[in-house]
Structure 1
Amino acid sequence: MKPTTPETKLSRFVAELDWDDLPPRVQDRVVEIWADAVANALAGRSAANTAAVEGLATALCGPGDSTVVGGGTLAPTGAALLNGYQITAFTMCDVYRPALCHVTPEVVPAVLAVAEAGDVSGRDLLTAIAAGLEVTTRLGLGVDYPVFRARGWHAPGVIGTIGAAMAAARALGLDAAGVCAAMGLGGSQAAGTFAALGTPAVKFHQARGAVSGLWAARFAAGGLGGAENILTHTDGGLLTTYAGGGRPGHITRQLGERWELEQISLRRWAAASSLQSLVAALLSVPADDLRPSDLVGVDVALPPTSYAMCGDMGWDDELSAMQSARYVTTVVLHDRQCWIEQFTADRRSDVPLAQFARARVSVDVGAGLPPSGVGLRITRRSGSPLVVHRDGAPGEPAEPLTRETIREKLAAVGGGSLDEVVFGVAGRSAAEVAAALRATPSSATAGRS
């Protein structure tokens, strides 16, 4: 390997990374991101399309000993596919906002499938996850996101695949050359565009990213390498082809000193990442001031990117409802909650709710709003209009979810008994952790379309 390329620097960083290399605050953050991913995977067991994905994973991959969170075992590829889907199924997993990339649905399933099959400690499980989170977010810096996005690319299936590949390679204990080979093989499978927005395919990008990462690491371990310069090659390198050259220097700047994974946001509610500030703004107003029968209209202002994804979205199915600014506004006003139960088929088909959403909620672009901000103007029959503004959402780096909130999220989907295992993973083996994950059924309310 050439000593000074971004690929070489990343590969050595991943191969040599040890849990003790992470500062205590970063270790805590990795554990919290991992715990949030487990909670989301448990919740995803009851999502509308999970049964279909599980059926396909079983038919295509067959039985095996790899853990499905909350659901027994499958062959490694099937387990990675299903776990990746479950983590993202209810639209409440993490997001790295600078590249609009969900990271854990790719990284965690690939690492879990590898780690539980070998003699891997909980510390090494967490180290591999940390490596995947850090690589993926740094690649998000490197792709020069405005250029990358203008070409239509959807980050999870592109940079998430590479992060998953390198993370799984770390879990396998590969050396720097092996990690670099996995990176190359991951890049050879990098794909997914925004044409999928609003369809189940947007979730497929992430689940497939986990599978591709698993395959890349296993192929690399078997001696089947990929391009050593998959990022920077002038003829087909990821940065060259997907981002007009990108910003390669950003990928390794202060590598191991500044932890980009700390910029990952976690979601408190089951709704699009672009609508988390909207939910927070609505719930910040006392219920007595927001009686739906007293409301004449609710004007929602979203920043341009959020509006493009959520402003005109309907709510015909579970996924679109979670991405619909009008529906989320309406159901939160009526229920004072934004959880799985708010997106069931029965709730979405409620006639008065739909009438309110169509007649009394308007959504437009808000000039000058920060990227995850929101503005509300609520007109009431009694009392003066209410104006509410938020610059960001709970769960973002400036307002991170507390560990207690993450514990509450885990408990809400039936994972309360997992608390000691999930938060104490560093003191256990990966196999022990995996056994607990597959033996814990989800208690999330089903949301069938």
Structure 2
Amino acid sequence: MYEGITEKLVDFSRSVRFDDLPTEVVQKAKWIFLDSVGCALGGYVTDRARLALAFVTESGGRLQSGIIGGQHTSHALAAFANGELITALDYDCLGPLKGQHVTPYVTPPCLAMAERVHASGKDLLVALALAHEIGGRFLASLVAHRVPTEKPPYHEYYPRFSHAYTIFGAVAGACKLLGLGRLETLNAFGIAGASVPVPAGVKWEFINGPAIMVKFNAWAGWVSQLATVATLLAEKGFTGDTTILDGDFGFWKIVGSPFFKTDLLFGGLGEVWYKDVEFKLYPVCGLNRAGIEGIRSIMAEHGIKPEEIEEIVVKADPFIVTPNRMMTEVESFADMQYSNVNIFAVAAFYGDRPSPAWQMPLIYHDPQVKVLARKVRIEKYPGSDELIADALKKEKPLAMNTLVELSARGGKFMLEVKTPKGRPSNPLTEAELIEKFKMNASFSMLPSMRIPEIITTILGLEELDDIGRLTRLLTVD
């Protein structure tokens, strides 16, 4: 059972060439990279970035790879820093597959290795497409946040989920850039798989108190660093379990998944590339997007001012009422990413101006925001348990609306939001992604005159002969 899984995945990753990628996949890879770089630049406003960068500076190391918006350091530490920066605001894209975070775990190792070998833009695009494809498929093949049960409500939260499973995508992309052989790549998979963080994602959902910086209990910086180290060690001849994904005691069993859906891992691999990536318009948890848009739409349609609001009720996916999202006091950027009541209060005042500033004290300590936050109520969407159970039973994506009820001027206004901006069926345009990038970059230390060239270079990445030309634009040393 499950024999040859590791070899099959490695053989596929080593076989992919730029000409194998559909045009739409190449375009999506460039957009993901542009968005990721922008999120990293915007992430400088957070304490998470400040502390991570302080650690990198204190650790020293040879100047090998660039930190986005910062200086050069060792390959492994650059991957660590860039992973922390990309994920810092929780502004990075979701997907491909299952709406989970992939890019902060897989992009940094690819960027570090691309700079190491002076890779071309085409080489980096292949690595990024490969890393996201394998990372997304691997997440989909193992247990997610919820599993079906035989008793009401016919689903339960599963305690062993982790975004860190994306590490195999990161390793595949990094090994591809170094041109590692079959055995070296298998060893890199084994080193990484045996070292991945414990699957503690759902534990994070139920932390009752101030938000922590180790978001999802799956540290993007550490996973990125680990993937980079595994790749570099394998290149030198360090050995790992070359069958890490195989058999009854393979990785799926190691991390406690009740199943390993290899059909999702290999179905159409190389023929069907998943492009259903969701780009975020707001720097907060993705669960809050529909609620934000519902509030904004009601206020715009009826000319309601924030100070006229008497109450806001948002009914959404039950994940929105987990303890880590029900906190009412915001004292940090991390709190602001997940505090429902404060997110929706900020949306009422600043919803037309999303930016990293949402996670700065200037915004979340705004007295007006604090007053309105006390008027926000959060509930589960009616019938949500049945919708979830049905989706799990039929193994289909969960499509749950968000209902917003806003009371103002003595009346109640209601709006049901089905598809918030950024979903594949309601995507952000390239122009909107560029504006988001510019806004994020304005919070960084990069000279403003570089920004147009960075955008042009990334969107024309396939024309670049040496990725070093881009990393020089992205660094300040």
Common fold: TM-score over 0.5: yes
Structure 1 regions of 5+ residues with no counterpart?
A: 441-449
Shift of 1:256: 0.8
Report the identity percentage: 20
Residue 71 (1) aligns with residue 70 (2)? yes
- Contact 2:356/2:440 (<8 A) preserved: no
Deviation at 1:375, TM superposition (A): 1.0
Aligned residue type for 1:247: K
Asked if 1:394 corresponds to 2:412, the answer is no
- Which residue pairs with 1:153 in the alignment? 160
Give the equivalent residue in structure 2 for 1:447: none
Secondary structure of 1:259's aligned partner: coil
| Cα shift at 1:152 | 2.4
Contact 2:96 2:133 in 1 (8 A): no
How far off is 1:162 after superposition? 1.9
| Partner deviation per Cα, 1:159-214 (whole Å, 9 max, x = no partner) | 12221111111111123333222222221122241334531011761111110110
Structure 1 residue matching 2:298: 3-state secondary structure:
coil
3-state SS, counterpart of residue 413 of structure 1: helix
Deviates more, 1:63-72 or 1:207-216: 63-72
- Which whole-Å CA distance do the structure 2 matches of 1:189 and 1:69 have between them? 26
Shift in Å, 1:366: 0.8
Q: What is the 5 A alignment of 1:281-292?
A: 281-287=294-300, 289-292=303-306
TM score, norm. by length of structure 1: 0.90
The CA distance in 1 between the partners of 2:22 and 2:137, in whole Å, is 18
1:408 equivalenced with 2:435 (yes/no): yes
2:403 maps to which of 368, 372, 375: 375
Aligned twin of 1:352? 368
Distance 1:389 1:265, change over 3 A: same
SS at match of 1:49: helix
What letter corresponds to residue 269 of structure 1 in structure 2?
Y
Question: Tell me, which stretches of 5 or more residues in structure 2 are unaligned?
Answer: 149-155, 206-210, 385-397, 442-450
8 Å CA contact 1:165, 1:212 repeated in 2 = no
| Number of residue pairs aligned between Structure 1 and Structure 2 | 435
Amino acid in structure 2 at the alignment position of 1:254: G
Give the aligned residue type for 2:159: G
1:46-92: CA deviation from partner (whole Å, max 9, x where unpaired): 22221211111222343513101111211112111111111011110
Partner SS for 1:284: helix
Does the CA-based 8 Å contact 1:303-1:374 persist in structure 2? yes
1:312-323 alignment runs, 5 A limit: 312-314=326-328, 315-323=330-338
Partner of 1:226: 240
From 152, 174, 183, give the equivalent of 1:168: 174
Between stretches 29-38 and 409-418, larger displacement belongs to: 409-418
More displaced, 333-342 or 25-34?
A: 333-342
Q: Is the 8 A contact 1:240 1:246 kept in 2?
A: no
Please give the root-mean-square deviation of Cα atoms over the aligned residues, in Å: 2.4
Q: Give yes or no for the alignment of 1:419 onto 2:449.
A: no
Matched with 2:472 is 435
1:252 equivalent among 240, 254, 266 = 266
SS in 1 for 2:280: coil
Question: Displacement of 1:28 after TM fit?
Answer: 0.8
Q: Does the 8 A contact of 1:294 with 1:380 survive in 2? A: yes
How far apart in 2 are the matches of 1:375 and 1:174?
A: 51
Cα offset, 1:227, TM superposition:
1.7
TM-score (norm 2): 0.85
Corresponding residue SS for 1:305: helix
Structure 2 residue matching 1:296: 3-state secondary structure: strand
Give 1:41 shift. 1.0
Query: Pairwise mapping of residues 75-154 of structure 1 onto structure 2 (< 5 A)?
Result: 75-96=74-95, 99=98, 101-145=100-144, 146-147=146-147, 150-154=157-161
Give secondary structure in 2 for the equivalent of 1:329. Answer: helix
The CA distance in 2 between the partners of 1:196 and 1:5, in whole Å, is 34
SS in 1 for 2:107: helix
Q: Is the 8 A contact 1:321 1:328 kept in 2?
A: yes
- Tell me how far apart the structure 2 counterparts of residues 309 and 43 of structure 1 sit (CA, whole Å): 27
Please list every run of at least 4 consecutive aligned residues from structure 1 whose deviation after the TM superposition is greater than 6 angstroms.
Answer: none
User: 2:289 pairs with 273, 276, 283, which one?
Assistant: 276
Once the two structures are TM-superposed, the CA of residue 330 in structure 1 deviates from its matched residue by 0.6
In the alignment, the residues of structure 2 paired with residue 222 and residue 150 of structure 1 have an alpha-carbon distance, to the nearest angstrom, of: 41
CA distance in 1, matches of 2:159, 2:102: 18
| Segment of structure 1 superposing worse, 328-337 or 370-379 | 370-379
